[in-house]
């Protein structure tokens, strides 16, 4: 037979060494070798939790929210409800319900506002006065509960546009923005602010805690927007 080659001898020596190592380890003569430790990757330090003070004084002081949802939508609720209730009051001149024909409040609105400043409108001035009352009364009620908010807000926006026109036509700018008046506010100031509020709800809808939001949730439950 052929003599064993050098490679065969090396293989036999390696096998004998492996067997001896296994037996010695099994009987406790040799401690098992530890697995090599892999070096840990560098882990970026965790950013400190943002505090309320950071939000007030940090970069977010200058950031505008992109979506009025969650906590950002909370201010819309009192704004919508209180604005609607105040509109109900404006639409009930002369009594509890709108369009109180024959009362001093209703007739005064016809004689001193509709006839001299809106005489270009076709039809009976009392009809336009009644429409004005109904829009403010029922539009305000719908806005307060958040039902049919967009059409209600649009109709109220048109009404406030007429109110701004009336005040500008009757008393002008009153020296705005730096002029001083007796009642500390310009006559056109209040309807202008109301108009901007109605413009907001016409564009964005009622926000949370509204009838419209509940209806939309039932109509489109899978809509994430």
Contact 155, 111 (CB under 8 A): no
Alpha-carbon 44 to chain mean position: 34
Handedness of CA 18, 23, 24, 30 (dihedral sign): positive
Q: Would you say residue 113 has pLDDT above 90?
A: yes
What pLDDT is attached to residue 72?
80
Res. 156 pLDDT band, cuts 50 70 90? very high
Res. 133 pLDDT band, cuts 50 70 90? very high
Where do we find the tokens 């090396």? Answer: 10
Can you give the pTM of this predicted structure? 0.72
Query: Which residues touch 167 (CB under 8 Å, ≥6 apart)?
Result: 186, 187, 188, 191
Q: What is the mean pLDDT of residues 194-201?
A: 97
Mean pLDDT in the chain? 83
Cα(193)–Cα(90) distance, integer angstroms: 15
Tokens coding 170: 């009757």
CB atoms within 10 A of CB 33: 8
What pLDDT is attached to residue 188?
93
Q: What is the mean pLDDT of residues 172-184?
A: 86
Contact 65, 121 (CB under 8 A): no
Q: What is the mean pLDDT of residues 154-181?
A: 93
Q: Dump pLDDT digits (tens) for 57-100.
A: 878 778 777 777 777 888 899 999 999 999 998 888 777 788 88
Cα(136)–Cα(87) distance, integer angstroms: 5
**Crossing angle of helices 125-145 and 76-90, rounded to 10°:** 150
What pLDDT is attached to residue 44?
62
- 43 or 129, which is more confident: 129
Query: For residue 124, what are the CA distances in angstroms to 110, 120, 129, 207?
Result: 10, 11, 9, 38
For the chain, percent of residues with pLDDT exceeding 70: 79
Cα(210)–Cα(81) distance, integer angstroms: 10
What pLDDT is attached to residue 6?
57
């Amino acid at each position: 037979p052929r003599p064993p080659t050098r490679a065969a001898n090396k293989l036999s020596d390696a096998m004998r060494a492996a067997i001896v190592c296994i037996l010695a380890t099994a009987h406790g003569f040799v401690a098992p070798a530890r697995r090599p430790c892999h070096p840990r990757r560098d882990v970026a330090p965790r950013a400190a939790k943002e505090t309320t003070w950071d939000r007030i004084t940090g970069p977010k002081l200058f950031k505008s929210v992109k979506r009025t949802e969650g906590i950002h939508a909370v201010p819309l609720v009192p704004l919508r409800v209180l604005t609607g209730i105040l509109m109900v009051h404006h639409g009930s001149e002369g009594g509890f319900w709108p369009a109180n024909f024959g009362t001093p409040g209703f007739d005064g609105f016809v004689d001193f506002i509709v006839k001299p400043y809106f005489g270009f409108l076709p039809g009976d001035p009392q009809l336009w006065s009644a429409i004005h009352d109904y829009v403010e009364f029922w539009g305000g009620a719908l806005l307060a509960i958040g039902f049919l908010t967009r059409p209600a807000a649009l109709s109220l926006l048109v009404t406030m546009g007429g109110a701004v026109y009336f005040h500008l036509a009757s008393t002008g700018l009153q020296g705005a923005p730096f002029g001083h008046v007796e009642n500390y506010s310009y006559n056109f100031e209040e309807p202008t602010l109301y108009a901007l509020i109605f413009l907001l709800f016409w564009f964005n809808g009622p926000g949370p805690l509204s009838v419209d939001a509940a209806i939309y949730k039932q109509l489109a439950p899978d809509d994430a927007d």
